[in-house]
Structure 1
C-alpha cells in the first residue's frame, strides 16, 4: 500500500449510509461501492480545495503581476468545479460532511497563517506567497489522488481523482513556467552611478 493511501486510511473516516428519499436497498447498494479510502480522500480534498480557493480569491486585489492574477483566476475556477464534484461524490457516498479537518493545517494544505500573511501582503510579496502555497497544494493533491486511484473502490471517486490529478499536473507545469520566468527576489540587479565629466551615467551589473 502506498504512503498516500495509508495517510488517507489513518484519517479514520468510514461510510455511514443514509437512505434519504431512496429505498434502503438502493441506498445500501450505492454507498457500499465507497470504501474507507474513498470517503477519507473526499473529506480531506474538500477542505484542501476550500483553503486554496480562499487564497486565489485574494489575487485580484493583491497581485502585482497580471500573469499571476490570471493563473490564480484559472486555478480558482478549477477549484470551484472540483469542490462541486467532490461534494456531489460525498453526497452519493452517504457519508455526512462532519468536517473532520476543520481548522487543521496538514501537508500541502494552505495554512491559516498563510492566508493571514497573504491577506496582509500586496504586490510581489503576495505573489510569492500565492505561488509557493499553490505549488505545495497542487503537489500534495496529486499525491493524494494517486493514493485514491490505487486504493479507492467507487468509480465516482477514483474517476474524479484521475481528473483532478491530470488537472493539477497541468497547473504545476504552468506554475513552474511562470515562476521560472520571474526573478526569485526583487532587486537582484545592482545599479551604480559613475561620474563622467560634467555628466553622470548609470551602469547595471
Structure 2
C-alpha cells in the first residue's frame, strides 16, 4: 500500500516540472543552446530541468523558512518547536547550496516564481494566518503547511534526479530528497498523539 501511494503521489511533481517547462515559467535557454545554459562547459551541463528545479526550490525554501521562524514564539508543543528550529536550520543550509548551484549554472537569479503559490509552497495567506495563532492552533497550521512543503520538495527532487542534466544538481536533489523524507518522519514523530 505504501509503495502504491508513493507511486501515485509522484505524478504531481512530474506534472509540475513539465508544466513549468512547457509554459516557460523557467529560465529561458540561450539562443543556439536549446537545453543547456551557455557559458563554461560546467554551466553547459545544466539543462532546463536543472534550472527550473533550482529556481523553484529557492522560493519554496524561503517561504518555508518564514514559517519556521514563527514557531519559537507560537508553537504550543515543545517537540514541535524543537523540530521547527532544526527545519529552519536545514532550510537555511539548503538555500545556501541552491544559490551556489544557481550561480555555477550560469543562469540569472531571475526569480520567475516570485509571488506564486504553487503546490507545496507556503502561501502568504498561511504565513499571515499562522502569525496570528499560537498554541495548538499554530501547531496544526504549521505542521500541515510544512508537511505539504516537504512532500512536494521530495517529489520535485525525484523529478530533478530523473531528468536533470548536471550531475551536481542531481546529487543535491538526491540529498534533499533523502533529507526531506527523514524530516517528514520526524515531523510525524513530533506530532504523534496530536490531532
Common topology (TM > 0.5): yes
Matched, 1:159 2:171: yes
Trace 1:112-191 onto structure 2 (pairs within 5 A).
112-182=124-194, 184=195
Matched residue, 1:88: 100
Give, in whole Å, the separation in 2 of the partners of 1:100 and 1:64.
Answer: 36
State the Cα distance separating 1:178 from its structure 2 match.
2.4
Aligned residues: 175
Deviation above 4 Å: which 4+ runs of structure 1? none
User: How many angstroms does 1:180 deviate by?
Assistant: 2.6
Contact 2:75 2:138 in 1 (8 A): yes
Per residue, is there more helix in 1 or in 2? 2
What's the offset of the Cα at 1:104? 0.9
| Cα distance in 2 between the residues matched to 1:31 and 1:47 | 22
Q: Is the counterpart of residue 99 in structure 1 residue 108 in structure 2?
A: no
Instruction: Check if 1:73 corresponds to 2:85.
Output: yes
Instruction: Determine which structure has more spread, i.e. the larger CA radius of gyration.
Output: 1
Deviation at 1:3, TM superposition (A): 3.0
**Could you state the TM-score of these two structures normalised by the residue count of structure 1?**
0.80
Name whichever structure is richer in strand by fraction. 1
> Residue 200 of structure 1 aligns with which residue?
none
Q: Give the distance between the partners of 2:30 and 2:144, measured in 1 at CA.
A: 37
Unaligned regions of 5+ residues in structure 2, if any?
1-10, 32-37
Query: Aligned ranges for residues 13-92 of structure 1 at < 5 Å?
Result: 13-15=27-29, 27-92=39-104
The CA RMSD measured in Å over matched residues stands at: 1.8
SS of the residue 1:159 aligns to: helix
Output one character per residue of 1:66-113: Cα deviation in whole Å (capped at 9) or x when no partner. 101001000010000000000000000011111111111101100000
SS at match of 2:179: helix
Instruction: Describe the superposition over 1:119-160 as per-residue Cα deviations: whole angstroms up to 9, x where unpaired.
Output: 111111111110000000000000000000000010121111
Instruction: Tell me by how many angstroms 1:6 deviates.
Output: 1.5
